[in-house]
């Protein structure tokens, strides 16, 4: 078996995920050793887009017609498609207001009424899975070096990796941290995919949720808990929205205002 | 059991003497709580109550490599250090005894056993705070499972010898200990009375196995399930929780495959998921019910005693107040002071602004 052929691509986003791959300086030669890199525009203009790929890594959200065409081409020629970074996996911060029907209004506010952007028609930002089949994901804003190398290691051995189905709190407890929620801080640990190693709570900073919403999160309970601790519901909803992506946008609509009657307190 | 006396001024030299056995670990402050850390004994906090995670981390670490695969060969991987672990309270030692039963009974776990063999366990007495309830779980004193145990009587410690290994270790500090006198024994009896009178939690925990069994379909599980964040904290901090998961990590730097074992939790959704995608406990309430019935009923029928040692870690760690005390209170029809109970009775209206 030859080396797996891979491509690394970016749609609409900050390119921070591709950059963090390049930042794996000490491991880059090893990566070249285990993979045959066919396309990685950020690192080299030499590329071969004709060849079939074993694995395609794609960052960024689908935010233009051109993004969509590009994604569909990549999907067609790749055996495994891996969404990397929050934008590709969940839609990114640009999708936090997903579906509230004010998207075109916001677009015009930013780019002007007679849109100056004429290269490609815009689309409401969505994650890759809204359009194509995604085989594996690596969340994070941006992705982290160690989780990326682990993912690469699995892919190089033909294993399709999956996101652990437990929250940041697990890794936070492994690190023997005090619970920030109990200390009265907003921490999105219980709602957020683990994998980062609980970096922020380990520095006494509440989790902001950049690894994206965990499947079957209990947003209602955490919202009520924060309200009981005296936080304003709108403030809480905003925090939940930032990295909530399209997954959370719908659920948040019903959470904007919560009132308690005859609460035990 | 043999018992000696250690003057308080000799505590630091005593610990330093024991550290000839191995790395010295004890409770040190972290924020408002405590953790077991490899620090000089001057930093140990002698009145520390319940570390954030229990001493199980020494025997089944949060994450460890158990096998390596390289050049088509599997190799067992051990990362065992000789250690002295100081500061385990009676509840912590009882929990280790539960661990011992679990990891040595059907399939003796070589990793656990090697860690255990290389550890000198030095217990320490404690005075309960408002969340301790070891007096209700019959774990407020301990007679086995430690090598040495220190009872803090103020100007002195009583040093109980719990094992041949403990006896052997005293050779390292033989000039620092002396025989006890009748006065020491009298003081110890008084100390026990004082300690006994300090417990605050009052509850019929003994009846829990039956009461839990009767309440298998109680609506309180649903109420707790509504509030549970499935964060796994209860199981991570519980000293008798034993569950782990396994994952193979390929290290591209070394071309090795590392089989990782790490703490896992029955309150996580995938815990009860099987091949084909069926989940036996899809609902959070079902998973909580599993935890409590296993801890307080299932363990009882398998090992003869419940797996709760009354350390209070769940009480101080669950963000939504789901813990042994509030669950027991709810089942006993006493109104628990708990977020989950308030959430259930709050008649919440969730509206779109």
Residue A243 lies in a domain: yes
CA distance A118 to chain B (A): 36
pTM: 0.93
* Same domain? A237 vs A142: no
Is A150 in Cβ contact with B250 (below 8 Å)? yes
Across the interface, of B31, B236, B346, the residue whose CB is closest to A260 is B346
User: Is the same domain home to A69 and A19?
Assistant: yes
For residue B287 the two structure tokens come to: 């998973």
Same domain, A13 and A130: yes
Same domain (yes/no): A144, A212: no
Q: A170 touching B, CB under 8 A? A: yes
Can you tell me whether residue B55 is helix, strand or coil? helix
Output the pLDDT for position B207.
Answer: 87
Strand B23-30: give its sheet, edge to edge: B33-37, B23-30, B83-88, B119-124, B148-152, B156-161, B3-7, B177-179
Tell me the C-alpha distance between B158 and A133, whole Å: 67
- Asked if A29 and A147 sit in the same domain, the reply is yes
Asked if residue A220 belongs to a domain, the reply is yes
pLDDT tens digits along B83-122: 999 999 999 999 999 999 999 988 999 999 999 999 999 9
Q: According to the model, what pLDDT value does residue B348 have?
A: 52
Banded pLDDT at B300 (limits 50, 70, 90): confident
Q: Which whole number is the average pLDDT over A5-23? A: 97
Last residue of a domain, one of A112, A132, A156: A156
Sign of CA dihedral A43, A136, A85, A199: negative
pLDDT confidence bin for A249, thresholds 50/70/90:
confident
> To the nearest whole angstrom, how far is the Cα of A150 from the nearest Cα of chain B?
6
Give the CATH number, domain containing residue A92.
Answer: 3.40.50.700
Domain check: are A88 and A33 in the same one?
Answer: yes
**pLDDT recorded at residue A259:** 40
- Per the prediction, chain B carries an average pLDDT of 94
Contacts of A215 in chain B (CB under 8 A): 269
Is A150 in contact with B62 (Cβ distance < 8 A)? no
pLDDT(A264) > 60: no
**Which chain A residue's Cα is nearest to B347?**
A261
pLDDT at residue A58 is higher than 50: yes
Cross-chain Cβ contact B345/A262 below 8 Å: yes
Q: What is the pLDDT of residues B54-84, one digit of tens each?
A: 999 999 999 999 999 988 899 999 999 999 9
Whether residue A177 lies within 8 A of chain B, CB to CB, comes out as yes
Across residues B114-139, what is the average pLDDT? 97
Residues of A in contact with B262 (CB under 8 A): 174
B51 CB neighbours in chain A (<8 A) are: 176
Task: Kindly list the distances between the CA atom of residue B168 and the CA atoms of B6, B89, B172, in Å, as whole numbers in the listed order.
Answer: 17, 22, 8
A147 with A192, same domain: the answer is no
Q: Is A200 part of any domain?
A: yes
Q: pLDDT exceeding 70 applies to what percent of chain B?
A: 98
Chain centroid, CA A35 distance in Å = 24
For residues A30 and A112, membership in a common domain is answered with yes
pLDDT value for A97 = 81
Angle, vertex CA A190, rays to CA A186 and CA A192, nearest 5: 95
C-alpha dist (Å) from residue A201 to A173, A208, A209: 10, 10, 11
- When pLDDT is cut at 50, 70 and 90, the band that residue B353 belongs to is very low
Q: How does pLDDT run across A119-131, given as a tens digit for each residue? A: 788 899 999 999 9
A254: closest CA among A220, A215, A229? A220
Report yes or no on A162 lying in a domain: no
A107 and A212 share one domain: no
C-alpha to C-alpha distance for B169 and B20, rounded to whole angstroms = 9
Compare CB distances from B229 to A154, A157, A218 and report the shortest one's residue: A218
User: Does the pLDDT at position A257 exceed 90?
Assistant: no
A259 lies in some domain: no
Q: Is residue A138 part of a domain?
A: yes
Q: Answer yes or no: do A173 and B52 touch at CB < 8 A.
A: yes
Q: Is the pLDDT score of B351 beyond 60?
A: no
Q: Which residue of B350, B351, B352 is the best one to mutate when testing the A interface, meaning the one whose CB has the most A CBs within 10 A? A: B350
pLDDT in tens, B199-233: 999 998 888 888 998 999 999 999 999 999 999 99
Size of interface A-B (CB pairs under 8 A): 152
| Statement: residue A108 has pLDDT above 90 | no
State which residue of chain B sits closest to A234, comparing Cα positions.
Answer: B353
Q: Is residue A95 part of a domain?
A: yes
pLDDT tens, residue by residue, B237-254: 999 999 999 999 999 999
Which A residues 5-44 touch B at CB under 8 Å?
Answer: 27, 30-31, 34
> What is the tens place of the pLDDT at every residue in A114-168?
666 667 888 999 999 999 999 999 999 999 999 999 999 999 998 988 878 899 9
Residues of chain B with Cβ-Cβ distance to A159 below 8 Å are 248, 250
Same-domain check for residues A128 and A13: yes
A10 and A120 share one domain:
yes
Count of domains forming chain A: 2
Q: List, for residues B307-328, the tens digit of each pLDDT value.
A: 999 999 999 999 999 999 999 9
Per-residue confidence (pLDDT) for residue B352, from 0 to 100: 36
Establish if A149 touches chain B: CB-CB under 8 angstroms. Answer: yes
Q: Which residues in chain A have Cβ-Cβ distances shorter than 8 Å to B329? A: none
Spell out which residues of chain A touch residue B50, defining contact as CB-CB under 8 Å. none
Residue A48 counted as domain residue: yes
User: Please, which pLDDT band fits residue A247 given cuts at 50, 70 and 90?
Assistant: confident
pLDDT of res. B302: 84
Which of B231, B248, B252 lies nearest to residue A189, judging by beta carbons?
B231
- Whether residues B249 and A150 touch (CB distance < 8 A) is answered with yes
Decide if pLDDT at A218 tops 70: yes
Residue A262: predicted pLDDT: 34
Domain boundary among A121, A156, A191: A156
pLDDT at residue B350, rounded to an integer? 45
Please tell me whether residues A196 and A82 are part of one structural domain: no
> What range does the domain containing A89 cover?
5-156
> Which of A156, A179, A196 corresponds to the end of one domain?
A156
Q: How far is A68 from chain B, CA to nearest CA, in Å? A: 31
Looking at the complex, does the CB of residue A205 fall below 8 Å from at least one CB of chain B? no
Question: What mean pLDDT comes out for the span A36-59?
Answer: 94
Q: Tell me the average pLDDT of chain A.
A: 90
């Amino acid at each position: 078996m030859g080396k797996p052929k891979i491509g690394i691509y970016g749609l609409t986003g900050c390119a921070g995920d591709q950059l963090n791959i390049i930042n794996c300086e000490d491991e880059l030669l090893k990566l070249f050793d285990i993979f045959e890199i066919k396309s990685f525009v950020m690192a080299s203009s030499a590329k071969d887009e004709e060849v079939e790929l074993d694995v395609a890594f794609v960052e960024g959200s689908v935010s233009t017609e051109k993004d969509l065409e590009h994604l569909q081409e990549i999907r067609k020629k790749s055996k495994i498609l891996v969404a990397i970074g929050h934008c590709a996996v969940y839609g990114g911060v640009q999708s936090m207001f997903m579906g509230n029907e004010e998207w075109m209004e916001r677009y015009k506010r930013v780019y002007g009424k007679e849109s100056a952007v004429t290269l490609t028609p815009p689309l409401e930002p969505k994650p890759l899975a809204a359009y194509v089949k995604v085989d594996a994901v690596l969340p994070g804003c941006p992705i982290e070096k160690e989780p990326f190398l682990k993912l690469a290691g699995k892919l190089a051995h033909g294993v399709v990796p999956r996101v652990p189905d437990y929250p940041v709190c697990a890794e936070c407890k492994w690190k023997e941290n005090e619970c920030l929620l109990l200390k009265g801080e907003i921490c999105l640990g219980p709602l957020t995919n683990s994998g980062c190693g609980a970096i922020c709570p380990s520095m006494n900073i509440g989790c902001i949720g950049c690894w994206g919403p965990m499947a079957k999160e209990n947003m209602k309970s955490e919202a009520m808990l924060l309200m009981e601790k005296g936080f304003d519901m709108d403030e809480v909803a905003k925090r939940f929205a930032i990295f909530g992506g399209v997954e959370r946008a719908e659920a948040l609509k019903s959470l904007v205002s919560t009132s308690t009657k005859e609460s035990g307190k | 059991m043999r018992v000696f006396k250690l003057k308080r001024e000799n505590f630091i030299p005593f610990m330093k003497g024991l550290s000839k056995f191995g790395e010295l670990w004890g409770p040190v402050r972290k924020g408002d709580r405590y953790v077991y850390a490899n620090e000089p004994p001057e930093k140990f906090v002698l009145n520390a109550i319940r570390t954030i995670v229990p001493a199980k981390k020494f025997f089944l670490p949060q994450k460890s490599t158990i096998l390596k695969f390289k050049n088509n060969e599997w190799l067992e991987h051990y990362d065992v250090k000789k250690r002295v672990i100081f500061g385990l309270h009676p509840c912590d030692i009882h929990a280790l005894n539960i661990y011992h039963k679990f990891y040595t009974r059907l399939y003796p776990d070589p990793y656990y056993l090697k860690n255990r063999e290389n550890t000198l366990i030095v217990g320490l007495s404690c005075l309960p705070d408002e969340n301790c309830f070891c007096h209700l779980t019959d774990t407020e004193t301990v007679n086995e499972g430690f090598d040495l145990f220190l009872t803090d009587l103020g100007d002195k410690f009583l040093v109980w010898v719990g094992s041949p290994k403990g006896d052997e270790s005293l050779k390292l500090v033989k000039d620092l200990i002396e025989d006890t006198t009748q006065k020491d024994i009298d003081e110890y009896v008084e100390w026990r009375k004082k300690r006994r009178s300090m417990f605050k939690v009052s509850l019929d925990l003994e009846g829990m196995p039956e009461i839990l069994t009767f309440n298998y379909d109680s609506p309180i599980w649903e109420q707790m399930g509504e509030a549970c964040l499935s964060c796994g904290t209860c199981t991570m901090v519980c000293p008798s929780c034993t569950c782990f998961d396994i994952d193979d990590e390929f290290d591209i730097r070394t071309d090795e495959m590392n089989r990782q074992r790490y703490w896992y939790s029955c309150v996580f959704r995938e815990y009860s998921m099987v091949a084909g995608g069926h989940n036996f406990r899809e609902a959070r309430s079902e998973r909580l019910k599993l935890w409590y019935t296993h801890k307080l009923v299932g363990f009882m029928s398998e090992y003869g005693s419940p797996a709760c040692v009354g350390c209070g870690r769940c009480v101080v760690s669950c963000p939504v107040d789901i813990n042994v005390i509030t669950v027991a209170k709810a089942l006993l029809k006493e109104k628990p002071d708990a977020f989950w109970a308030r959430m259930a009775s709050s008649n919440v209206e969730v509206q779109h602004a």
